[in-house]
Amino acid sequence: MWHIIHGEKTDWIPRIKQILDSTHTDAFEPFDRFAQFENSKGKTLEMLLEEFKILRAENIDILKSLALTQEELAKEGKHPQLGSVTLKNLLAAWTIHDLSHINQITRVLAKYLKHDVGPWEAYLTVIKS
């Protein structure tokens, strides 16, 4: 959860704004994969979920307000490891990033219930992944 919150604060929207700002030519700030541990100290899971809910709603509102055009989606930014990326690449990566976490949750929950499904296991491919 901490990783996703940190991304909401420092990754997706800030990078979108950087790409759209034609005066900004520096590479994106590298994503600090350890910052979330410090920032989440003393917070319960419920607190973190609420923080994510608020941040995601704000970020979706920001994204909607941009009303991006095809020309803007083609604009490029500079990723510190990957080099040149388009805004369209970034938005697709944000989507796939979320889907990857949903997939992780699904696999964990499926494996947790694996022994309870009995003979249906043969039909439930998520258990086998």
For 32-90, what is each residue's pLDDT tens digit?
777 767 777 788 989 999 999 999 999 999 999 999 999 999 999 999 999 999 999 99
If pLDDT is split at 50, 70 and 90, which confidence band does 25 have?
confident
A 10 A CB-CB count for 27 gives 15
| Residue 129 pLDDT > 70 | no
User: What is the pTM assigned to this prediction?
Assistant: 0.86
* Residue closest to 63 by CA, chosen among 6, 1, 12: 12
Query: What whole-number distance in Å separates Cα of residue 18 and Cα of residue 30?
Result: 13
Instruction: Give the bridge partners for 109, in sequence order.
Output: none
User: Which distant-in-sequence residues (6+ apart) come within 8 Å of 124 by Cβ?
Assistant: 110, 117
DSSP-based three-state secondary structure for 32: coil
Beta strand spans in 37-82 (E):
76-79
- Min mean pLDDT across 28-37, 93-102, 110-119 is at 28-37
Query: What whole-number distance in Å separates Cα of residue 107 and Cα of residue 123?
Result: 15
Q: What is the pLDDT of residues 114-126, one digit of tens each?
A: 999 999 989 998 8
Assess if CATH 3.20.20.140 describes domain 2-94: no
Distance of CA 99 to the CA centre of its chain: 8
